């Protein structure tokens, strides 16, 4: 399955939050799925970790997830911003969620997130548990 992993999947682990274990179990399946991360998510993760003075955690994240595990990074460009604006207006999303949705549409990816805001979109979302336990 081709999957766009939302920012919160990684932050759950990196910030040791309550859903971290489910997120870890999902990421173990890196060989079974094509996982992608948006450039926006990469920057958001960096921002969150740097604010907490966790620079080494960011370095380790980039090395382990992007370099070693091969999670791909995808971007939107100026010509894609209308799709972001449209997604925001159509589904009443904040910029970050609209960006993720537009990126998922552009690259035909399933969105995996803990964020229920994607539920109100035509694309929807999957949770890590749904990927781990299909059916």
Per-residue pLDDT tens digits for 39-54: 999 999 999 999 999 9
Q: Give the residues of the chain that fall short of pLDDT 70.
A: 135
How does DSSP assign the chain, residue by residue? Answer: -EEEE-HHHHHHHHTT-TTHHHHHHHHGGGGTSEEEEEHHHHHHHHHHHHHTT-HHHHHHHIIIIIIIS--EEE---GGGHHHHHHHHHHHT--HHHHHHHHHHHHHT-EEE-S-GGGGGSSS--B-HHHHHS--
Domains identified in the chain and CATH numbers: 2-130 (3.40.50.1010)
Dihedral Cα 93, 96, 102, 105, nearest 10 deg: -90
- pLDDT confidence of residue 101: 98
Tell me: the pLDDT tens digits for 122-134? 999 999 999 988 7
Q: Say what angle helices 39-51 and 7-14 make with each other, to 10 degrees.
A: 30
């Amino acid at each position: 399955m081709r999957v766009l992993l939302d920012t919160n999947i990684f932050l759950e682990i990196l910030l040791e939050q309550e859903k971290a274990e489910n997120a870890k179990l999902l990421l173990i399946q890196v060989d079974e799925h094509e996982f992608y991360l948006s450039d926006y998510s990469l920057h958001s993760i960096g921002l969150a970790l740097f604010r907490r003075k966790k620079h080494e955690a960011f370095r380790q994240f980039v090395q382990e997830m992007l370099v070693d595990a091969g999670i791909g990074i995808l971007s939107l460009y100026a010509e894609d911003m209308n799709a972001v604006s449209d997604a925001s207006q159509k589904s009443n999303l904040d910029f970050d969620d609209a960006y993720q949705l537009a990126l998922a549409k552009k690259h035909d990816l399933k969105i995996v997130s803990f964020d229920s805001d994607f539920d109100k979109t035509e694309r929807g979302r999957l949770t890590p548990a749904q990927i781990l336990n299909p059916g």
